[in-house]
Structures are given as structure tokens and as C-alpha cells.
Chains A and B, each alone.
Chain A
Amino acid sequence: MSMALAGFLQLAVVAPPAGGLLLAIIAPVLAGLATLLLPRAAVTARVVLAGAGPALAFVLVLWHLGAHGVAGHTPPPESHHASITHVADTSGTDDLASQVIESSLSHASDAGRLAAPPQGTAVIEWVPDLDLNLAFLADGLGGFFALLVAGIGVLIVLYARGYFGGATEQARADLFRFYPTLGFFASAMLGVVLADYTLLTLVFWELTSISSFLLIGWNRYDKAALKLAKQAFFTTGLGGMFLLGGIGLLGYHTGHWRWSELLQHANDLDWSGGTLKAAFLLMFVGAASKSAQWPLHYWLPGAMAAPTPVSAYLHSATMVKAGVFLVGRMLPLFVLPGEGVGVDIWPGLITWIGAITMLYGGVTAVNQHDLKRIFAYTTVSQLGLLMAMYGLAGFDFDHAGHVVAAAIDLDITQIANHAFYKAPLFITAGAIGHYLSRSLPDLHGAFYKFPAICATMLLAGYALAAGPGTVSFQAKELFLYAIYHAANGRPWLWVILAMTIATAACNVAIFVRLLTTLLGLPGSMGKADHDSAHDDDHGHGEDGHDHHHAPEPGLGGALIWLPAVPLVALQYIGGLAPGVWDRLFGRFERFGYYFDHGVPSLLYAITHPGVPLYASGVAIVLGVVLGLSKLLRGQHIDPHDAIYPGVEAASVGLGRGLFAVLQNGSLRVYLTVVLIALMTCLSAAAWHDPGMIAPIGAEAARAFELPLGVIVGLLIVITALLLPVFSSRIVRVLMLGSCGFTVVAMYVVYQAPDLALTQLMVEIIGVLLFVLVLRLLPEPPQGERALPVGKLWRAGLGLVVGLAFGWITLVCAHAQPEALLGEWFSQYSYHGPAMIDAAGEKTGYERGGGGKNVVNVILVDFRGFDTLGEISVLGLAALGVWSMLPGRRRELCGEPPAQANASSSDPSTAEATLS
């Protein structure tokens, strides 16, 4: 018993249970759905209930991490600490970067990887055959993201209450609809970051796309918003398809379908061949589309059509980071620190795409007036920076004969930094837009009207500018260090450094303009620019939320900016007290090569000047100059905005063109296409197997073995060929009839009396019916005869298809099967198998069909159900005829419908008599 318990406990240590995390994932959507049960007027209860979902998720993830630890996290070796401390202590005036290179050289053995491969949770089976089960991976990256999603989720629930209001009927309806959708998103996003099975990640990934679509198209009556929602959905959804391809390739090539297994086997993957490289490329396209990397970034500014709570949550802090998250997930898999890069295109591709995105987003952001668009482009820019950070991680470099580990440090701090200032910026932008305007030139002096909101926005904006005192400053320093390290021996990476400085300057410029405008200082985006700007304000598919609301009193009104405060506070805690920051977030960090003891303090950075610090200084000076200058003050129209509409118009146009060609409504064209395809397949078959030609000669030699058959056959051929020759329809019907009667004769030749009798009946009735029906139908219009060319074409196609069918008949007839089913049927038609007693004497027969006409026995006995089906068809056809001929029915109204049915039921009765 105690052994079993010990074993269980050990198992629990090896694989933490999955239930807690599963509950954490579904908690937000359950809470969101539960709010639907509340009456619409119960606003406070609704907010509390909706917020309870992400709050519960937060607590559960925290509990899981507390109980089972951060997966894969092992404290760095003591010696490592010591050497760093030692180097730090004895550092002179050398710049920090070269010291830490030295320090990592001193323990090059464990510089490769600090963290052990993480361990996933136990498995709850879902679809084992597809390698799609429920298991979770709460490592540093996943666990941190989960806390981020859940924590900001709570704040956004509160903010939505302030943003939508709670007093009017419209506000209550909005909240009623909003919270379930938001909960849906929060659950999907938690799933993405916690899933251990690769396919499970994909499932949640697509769910986030769907929820994003629902939230961007929140205003269902705004066609522009709907278009933008579609644009975002298709862009990220198609990216998801790429991700599926990559995951599939990865899974089939490696045989592992769990991130944790993949990471454990990262060192013994088979890198030969291009499979893993292709898998990486596909997955990166998926990640890049989700994280709005150039040139697919256009959907993110478009997604600002969503209500601001959505922008603050999905499109800045969480969902758009899913791509960054995925790349961070792949990093330990595709980049093997100290041993070279598994995928050699990793650093070049990701770094450059990220850097281009970063610079383009930064420059475009300066050139906007709408606050949400400004922040959207800075989001694009920052996502590019995060991508570039992971790209740089692929560079390992040779230093004095040692391969030094990849250039990445404290990636979690970078990600957290962005979320902690961007979400507050959006929250306050929504708030100020709610009361005044979202257009920056309209906000001249707004600080004096709404000091709390504007102060929060400016504090967050200071972090956007990476000002000293915020964790953003240190994060920027860390990024610059990474470039500085990676550029050691790669001079072209200095270009990236220049791009980073330019981007940072743009961010500083944005802050300067925010500051001057809100405070009404000189150099602001003054009223001068206002007139040209205002008309465009509503032209970008904004969320349609009415501006110029009166401020709502009390806590409900304050909720429109208050949720931003804790996030901004975290920025300054990180900046001013990095020790506290490290206690909070240090346990999630996976990479700490140079700064493995945590985020460097501001003082440390300033007292150890180097290229990164100088770069920051240059960026700040340039940024202030740019912010105060008259440059880049217009409203840049992003040319990439035309990509999606262009692609959509092209594909819809192509589809319409193909439809017009392929589905032109002409039965003759359809039939021709089908027949030509059939002929092509048959030709291919004959080409493949020349033995299919041989039966023609063999059977032709035996053609004249039965003179009577030849005569009847000739009659069939002649009557059939004469049919289209005559134009009079009565003659045609008679020809059809004669053909049928000669077929009857052929059945007689073939010793098939039942067939002959039945066909005879059917033929007589058929000819009569045809003649009767033709009387009711018009003659074909004489003036519109088909062209001779069309006739020739028809005749040619008819000849080819006819010959093909004749040939198939010969091939089939020539086959010599091992046994014929007919043999069995005739054997047991009358008797069953013989019964043999113990002495070997035949004592009788088992039960057989009991009939001597084998065909009839087959029909009514061996294949009785078949015949039942046949009779049903006949009955249905009779019903159809009856129901389709209302006129005829009216004529027969007085009498029972026997007469009309008689013709249809004749063959069945005929057959019944035959059987």
C-alpha cells in the first residue's frame, strides 16, 4: 500500500496532473457563458462573474506552478552564479558586454543550456489515434503567458465595464454579448500557451483566430468592420494552415507530437534532408501571420475596428504574441546553443523579417493621428523586435576559439515589458476617445480636463519610449546587447543595430508628441493640423463607439482607466526595483547567458557604459528631435492595406471566371467533359496494360461461330444506327422499338427466356407510352437545327465512347475468373448441399432454393432484397408520375387511380407471373 502510494507520488512528481490546467483553460469560457444566465440589468454581478473566470484561471495556473514547479526550470549551478558575481565585482571600466562574454567563457560547458528540457503533464486521452490528447506544458514560457493572459483578462473584464458603461440599455446589451466572447478568447489563448500536444496548440490557435474574428466584427452593422474582421481571420487562419503543415511534417518526421518530447529529443533529431527545414519554414509563416510580421502585418492595424477592450487585450498584449510565443517554443528545438543551429536559415530569416517589421512599424506609427492606429503600429514594431530577438538567438559566435552560446537573454522580460505598457496605452486611448477624441491633434491640452487618464497614458508612453526608470529601458538594453553580441564577427548585423536605434527614436518621438499635445506645450500636434486630420478620423473602420460621452461618476466610471494602473506600476517596479521584478518573473526566464542573475539595474547599466547604452542615448536624442520637428506629421496610408482586398478580389474574380467556364449550365458541356475524362482514363489504362488490347483479335476470330447470332446482332446495329438518321419522331420511336425487339431476339439467342419475356412486355408498353407522350409534346423548332459541325462532333464522340464500351465488354468477357458465382447459384437453386451421415452415406439434401428456374430463384430468394429494392423503385417512380401529373389526376378524380397505375405496375406483375 505504502509502496503504491510512494509510486504514485513519484509518478506525480514525474508528470504533474493535467486536470488543474485543463480547468484553468476552460474556466474563462465557462464563466463567460454563465453570465448569459444573469438578467441584463445585473451589471455588477455580470462583471464579477465574468472576471471570476480568468481570475480562477490565474489562481489555478499559479497553484499548478507552485505545486509542481515551472517545468524545465532548474536553478543555475552555484559555480555559475559565483563566476558571474565575481566578474561583476571585479569589473573595471570595460564595457559590460565583453565581461559577460568572458564570464560565460569561463563556464562554457554549461553555457549551452541552463534549463533542462521541460516535462509535460499527464495525458488525458482525447483522440489517441491522431496523437491529439490533452496534456499541458507549464514551462517558463507557457506558464508566464498563461498568467499574463489570465491576469490581463481580469483587468480587461473590468475595463469593458467602464468602456461600454452600464447605465443604458445599449450598454447592457453590449456587455451581455461581450463577456462570453471574451471568455471564449481567453480560454483559447490559455490553450495555445499551455498545450503540450502540437496539434492541440493548433486547435486552440485556430480558436483564437475565430474569437478574434468575432471581436473585430463586433459591430455587426458596420460593413467596414466586417471586412476588416474577414481580413484578419483569413490572414491568421491561412497562417494556421501553414502551421498545420509544419506541425504535421515535424510530427511525421520525428515521431513526436508533444512539445515536451520534441524538446527532450532536440539533440538527436535527424537534420539530414530538408524535412525539418520545411517544417520550420511552414511553422514560421504561421507564426509570422499571427504576430503581424511584415508583409502580413496589415491585418493588425485593421483589427483596430474592434472595441478598445479587445484591442487592448487581443491585439496588443496576448493574441498577437502567439506567433512570438510559437517561435519561442521552437527556439530550443531548432537552435542548439553551443552546437550550432539546427535550422541554418533561422537567424537570417527571423532576424531580418523581425527587423524590417520593427522599423516599418515604428516609422508608420509616428505618421498617424488616430491613437489606436499609432499604438497598433508600435505593436507591430514591438512584435518585430521580439521576433528579431528570437532570431538573434540563432547566432552563436566564435570567441577566442570557443563557440559561445546564442545571443538571447531574458526573453520573458522582453515579452512582459511590451504587454505592461501597450495594454495601458490602449486602455487609456479608449478612455480618452470615449470622452474626447482619439485623434491626437484634437487632444491639445486634454491633460487638464482628464488628468488621471492622461497621466496614466503618459506614464505608459514613457515606457513606450523606453525611458530610463522603466523596465522597458532595460529590455531595450538587453536587446541591444544581443545585437552587439551577435554582431561580433558579423558586421552586417550593425545594420540591425541602426534599425533598432531608428525604431527606438520613433517610439521616443511618439512619446514626445503625446506629452506636448496632452499638456498643450509648444511643438505639439496643434490645431493647425487638425482640419486636414479630422475628416479622416472616421474613415478607417473605427469601432463606431460614440465619442463625447459625459464622464460616468463613481467606480464604474473610473474603471475606464483604473485597470491600466497596475500594469504601468509593474513597468516602474521593473525599472526602479529590478530585484522585485526578478522575484516575480525571474523564475520564468529560460535563457540567461549573460544576465542569468536577472535584469540589470538601471544603475548597473549606466555605470557600465558600452555600445548599447550609447545607442540608447542616441535614440533618445534623435527621438526628441524628431518628436519636436515638423517631420512625419501626416497620416501615412499603409500600402500593405491593399494586399488583402487585392488578393480577395483576385480570388473571387478567378472563382467567378472558373464558375462561368465550368458551370455554364449546359448539360452537353458537362456530359462532354465527363466523357472525355472517361476516355482519357481508359486510354491511360490501355497504355499502362497493353494486354487489354489482345482480346479484340481473339474474339474477332470467333465472331461467326453462330450465324443466327450474327444476323440478330446486325439487326440491332442497323436499327440503332438508323434511329438518328430519321427526323420524323414517330419513325424514330418505331426504330427504337425495333431495336428493342431485336434485343429481345438476342436474349432468346442467349438462352434467356425470362429476359426475353420481360423485355418484350416492357418494349410493347414503352413504345405505346412513347407514342402517346409524343402527341403531347411539340415538334422541335425547325429553324434552329444544330450546325453540321456540332453533329460531326457528337457523332465522333459517340463513336469513340461506343467503341470504348464495346472494347470494355470484350475485355471483361475475355477474362477467365477462377470461379463463377453463377455456378454456386445453379448448384443450390433446387437442393442445398448434400447431407452425409457418419458412415459416409448420402442421406439427403439441406434446404436449397427449391426452384428449378435458376434466374427466378436468384431474384426472389438469393437476392430477394435486391428485388424488393427494385420494386420499391418502381413504386416510387409510379408515385412520382402520379404526383407530377395533376391534370391527369383531376381527370381521373371520379375513378380509382387504377388506370394510371396500371401501366406502371404492368412489368412488376409481369415479372411476378414470371417468377
Chain B
Amino acid sequence: MTFVMALCVTACVGVSIYLLLGRDLKGVAMGVFLLGHGANLSIMAMSGSPVLPAENATAAESLKAAPILGAHVPSPALANMVDPLPQALILTAIVIGFAVMGFLLTLLIITNRSTGTLVVDRLANEPVSTTRTDTRAEPFLPSGTPS
């Protein structure tokens, strides 16, 4: 099962890197979300397989129990129950990922409004190139020095 998860992580992270390296900012935004999925799945997989070990498995139950204590969880041992801690971490991550998504989408709108383009190279080049020309003209002269 973990191997399947590893494949999912590979697919999500790989595609997200492909998108992040692209020229379109919208693709970059999608890449960020996909990267979040990949990271969450990776943490999930690290908690181990949800399949019950063969000696504990019954005909009715082949999976470990959800981390909710109750009548059907006789003892809070992780042999029979999935690890709750990665779930807690991922829950936090999902919510923060959502906040980042909202922020990022807003940034897209703002960027588009102020520059009229969402092509990464163009966005990157224009402002930086102007500052660089400025630096070249007088690299070390302190500002405010009368000439």
C-alpha cells in the first residue's frame, strides 16, 4: 500500500514541478496546490500502511480502525488503529494550504491588473532589469553625495 502512495506522491510532485517550471503563473498556482497534495500524501504514507497485520486481521476487518476511541477499539494501541498524529499534522496543512491558495489567487488577480501579464519571464525581467541598470550606473556612490 505504501508503494502505491509513493507512486501517488511521485505523480503529484512530478507534475507540480513541471507546472512550477512553466511560464504561466496560473500553472504555477496549480503546481503549488498539487505540491500540497503530494506533501500530505507523503506524510500520510509515512504513518504506515492502514492494512491490519495478518495475525490481527479478521474476516470482517482487514483495515485498521480510524483513530476514534469507542466500543470497537478495545485498546488504544497502534497495532489496531492508524496513527492519529500524521492526520493532525495534515489537517493543519490542508487548512493552511487553503489560506495560501486564496492568497495566491488574489496575487494573480493583482499581478494581472497591475502588469497586464501572467507570463513569469516577463514579470521577472522588467522590474529587475531597471534596478540593475541603476546599480550599474553608480555602484558604490552613497546617496546624497553632492557631486
B91 A859 Cβ-Cβ under 8 A: yes
Tell me which residues across on chain A come within 8 A of B124, comparing CB atoms. 665-667
Q: Which residue of B lies closest to A722 (CB)?
A: B15
**B15 A802 Cβ-Cβ under 8 A:** yes
Q: Determine chain B's interface SS by DSSP, over half rule.
A: helix
Distance in Å from the Cβ of A700 to the closest Cβ of chain B?
5
Residues of chain A within 8 A of B84, CB atoms compared? 822, 825-826, 829, 854-855, 858
Q: Does A6 touch B at the CB level, under 8 Å?
A: no
Inter-subunit contact B99/A665 (CB<8 Å): no
**Judging by beta carbons under 8 Å apart, are A802 and B139 in contact?**
no
Contact of A794 among B21, B26, B47, B67 (CB under 8 A): B21
A773 on the interface (CB 8 Å rule)?
yes
Given contacts A752-B44, A798-B14, A911-B91, contact A829 B76 (CB under 8 A): yes
Q: Is the CB of A665 within 8 A of B128?
A: yes
Cα-based distance from A206 to B27 in the complex (angstroms)? 53
A541 to B67 Cα, complex, angstroms: 80
Q: Give the docked Cα–Cα distance between A908 and B65 (Å).
A: 26
CB-defined interface of A800-815 with B at 8 Å, one 1/0 digit per residue? 0111011111101110
- Give the total of B residues in contact with A, Cβ under 8 Å: 98
Of chain B, the residue at the smallest CB distance from A737 is: B33
Given contact pairs A773-B105, A801-B14, A859-B92, A762 touches B98 in the complex (Cβ within 8 A): yes
Listed residue (A699, A723, A750, A904) with the most chain B CB atoms within 10 angstroms of its CB: A750
* Chain B positions within 8 Å of A810 at CB level: 2-3, 6, 45
B4-36 contacts to A (CB < 8 Å): 4-24, 26-27, 30, 33-34
Given known A826-B78, A852-B68, contact A702–B3 (CB-CB < 8 A): yes
A820 to chain B: which residues have CB within 8 Å? 78, 83, 85
- Name A200-248 residues within 8 Å CB distance of B: 220-221, 223
| Given A798-B21, A801-B17, A709 contacting B91 (CB threshold 8 A) | no
- Which residues of A have CB within 8 Å of B65? 751
- Residue contact A702 to B49, C-beta cutoff 8 Å: yes
Cα distance A603–B82 in the bound complex, in angstroms: 104
User: Do B15 and A852 touch across chains, with their CB atoms under 8 A apart?
Assistant: no
By a CB distance below 8 angstroms, the chain A residues around B92 are 859, 866-867, 870
For window 38-71 of B, CB contacts with A under 8 Å fall at 38, 40-42, 44-51, 62-70
User: Does any Cβ of B come within 8 Å of A863's Cβ?
Assistant: yes
Interface segment among A104-112, A419-427, A741-749: the answer is A741-749
Q: Is the CB of A672 within 8 A of B21?
A: yes
Let me know if B74 is at the binding interface, CB within 8 A.
Answer: no
B9 smallest CB distance to A (angstroms):
5
- A876-915 contact mask (Cβ, 8 Å, vs B): 1 or 0: 1110110011000000000000000001100110010000
Q: Are B119 and A780 in contact (CB under 8 A)?
A: yes
Q: A822-B84, A829-B69 are in contact. Are A656 and B15 (CB under 8 A)?
A: no
Give A765 to B83 CA distance when docked, in angstroms.
Answer: 28
Q: What chain B residues lie within 8 Å of A863 (beta carbons)?
A: 88
B113 CB → nearest A CB, Å: 8
| Contact between B95 and A766, CB atoms less than 8 A apart | no
Residues from chain B with Cβ under 8 Å of A904 in the complex: 99, 102
C-alpha spacing A915/B27, complex, angstroms: 34
Q: Are A874 and B96 within 8 A (Cβ)? A: yes
A781 to B118, CA, bound (A): 10
Contact across chains for A766 and B101 when beta carbons are under 8 A apart: yes
Known contacts A705-B1, A829-B69; A758/B6 CB under 8 A: no
Using known A-B contacts A739-B37, A826-B78, A877-B102, determine if residue A813 contacts B95 with beta carbons closer than 8 Å: no
Q: Does A310 contact B (CB under 8 A)?
A: no
Min CB distance B67 to A, Å, is 4
CA distance A743 to B85 in the complex (A): 18
A706 adjacent to B1 (CB under 8 Å): yes
B-side contacts of A739, CB under 8 Å = 12, 34, 37
Judge if A724 is at the interface, Cβ distance under 8 Å.
Answer: yes
Task: Flag whether A675 is at the interface (Cβ < 8 A).
Answer: yes
B95 pairs with A908, CB closer than 8 A? yes
Which residues between 646 and 684 of chain A lie within 8 Å of chain B, taking CB atoms?
A: 652, 656, 659-660, 663, 665-668, 671-672, 675
- Contact: B13 with A806, CB < 8 Å? yes
Report the bound CA distance from A269 to B121 in whole Å: 62
Contacts of A686 in B (CB 8 A): none
**Measured between C-beta atoms, what is the minimum distance from A525 to chain B in Å?**
36
A499 to chain B, nearest CB (A): 40
A746 neighbours in B (Cβ, 8 Å): 5, 8, 41, 44
Neighbouring B residues of A716 by C-beta, 8 Å: 8, 11-12, 37, 41
Assess the B9–A778 pair: CB atoms within 8 A.
Answer: no
With A720-B11, A874-B95 already in contact, 18 other A-B pairs whose C-beta atoms are closer than 8 Å: A220-B145, A699-B6, A716-B12, A720-B37, A724-B19, A736-B34, A754-B87, A786-B23, A802-B11, A802-B12, A809-B5, A822-B83, A852-B70, A870-B92, A873-B96, A878-B102, A881-B102, A885-B109
For the complex of A and B, the 6 pairs showing the least CB-CB separation, nearest first, are A802-B14, A806-B10, A877-B99, A713-B4, A665-B128, A798-B18
> Which residues of A approach B to under 8 Å, CB–CB?
220-221, 223, 652, 656, 659-660, 663, 665-668, 671-672, 675, 699-700, 702-703, 705-706, 709-710, 713-714, 716-717, 720-721, 723-724, 729, 732-733, 736, 739-740, 743, 746-747, 749-755, 758-759, 762, 765-766, 769-770, 773-774, 776-778, 780-781, 784, 786, 794-795, 797-799, 801-803, 805-810, 812-814, 820-823, 825-827, 829-830, 852-855, 858-859, 863, 866-867, 870, 873-874, 876-878, 880-881, 884-885, 903-904, 907-908, 911
Chain B contact residues, CB within 8 Å of chain A: 1-24, 26-27, 30, 33-34, 37-38, 40-42, 44-51, 62-70, 76-78, 81-88, 90-92, 94-103, 105-110, 112, 117-121, 124-125, 128-129, 132, 136, 139-140, 145-147
10 A-B residue pairs with Cβ-Cβ distance under 8 Å, sorted by A, are A665-B128, A702-B3, A721-B15, A778-B117, A780-B118, A798-B21, A809-B5, A809-B42, A822-B86, A884-B107
